Amino acid sequence: MKIDTLEKKHNGYKLNGFSIEDIGDDHMFTGLETPLKEDAFKLSDAQKKECIAILFEEIMDVMGLDLTDDSLKGTPNRVAKMYIDEIFSGLNPKNKPQVALFDNKYQYNQMLVEKNISFYSNCEHHFVPIIGKTHIAYVSSGKVIGLSKLNRIVQYYAKRPQVQERLTNQIANELKKILDTEDIAVIIDAKHLCVSSRGIKDDTSATVTAYYGGLFKNSEKITELQNYINN
């Protein structure tokens, strides 16, 4: 449902009786595509960093921080550089990893599993970290991908404001397209600092999401995959 269906109330925006805060906390109404403006890349990376530094300096000033302090005066520029060049670099399509495929000369027709791919992302509702592991499996349709490219695909989609459900599906859809197969599985096990450091402040819970396509919809394949992951 589009954002323009929201009705502004005097106590905040509501959609079907839910407040914006409720929607954000409960991961509802999220779509597959990362929500970007049509002119998202009108500014160059250098221009974006300049603007972010100015705006973040204002945030720090409003919070009452002394920007003349040696430890703080470089922070706005550091944050701007970090946002554009590092933790949100996956927003820019130019940073998408180039992937080369190879013929499956070994005729290996069983599942290939790359497990425990570490990633750091950021919750799009509070801009605090999501830290976790991704497990990927696929059965070759005739082509194979370099193992490191699986890691790079995970990192590319993780390095943007995210929702874990969306991240799971974005990785799966990218692999389906690249490998030309439905036989893809993606499992993400992650810790959300928006849960552990604020709100409910539960430091022990983790969130698991999964995508199973093609052969991986078979319960025996799922069990086999889970055995590989857990051993």
- Residues involved in catalysis: 123-126, 164, 192, 194
Q: What are phi and psi of 60, to 5 degrees?
A: -60, -40
Angle between the N-to-C axes of helices 147-158 and 164-179, in degrees from 0 to 180, rounded to the nearest 10? 140
Q: What are phi and psi of 166, to 5 degrees?
A: -65, -45
Q: What tokens does 80 get?
A: 């701007």
Going by their DSSP bridges, the two strands 129-139 and 111-123 should be labelled as antiparallel
Neighbouring residues of 7: CB distance < 8 A, sequence distance ≥ 6: 13, 14, 15
Closest CA to 122 of 62, 74, 181, 163: 163
Closest CA to 147 of 138, 156, 157: 138
Count the Cβ atoms, other than its own, within 10 Å of residue 14. 15
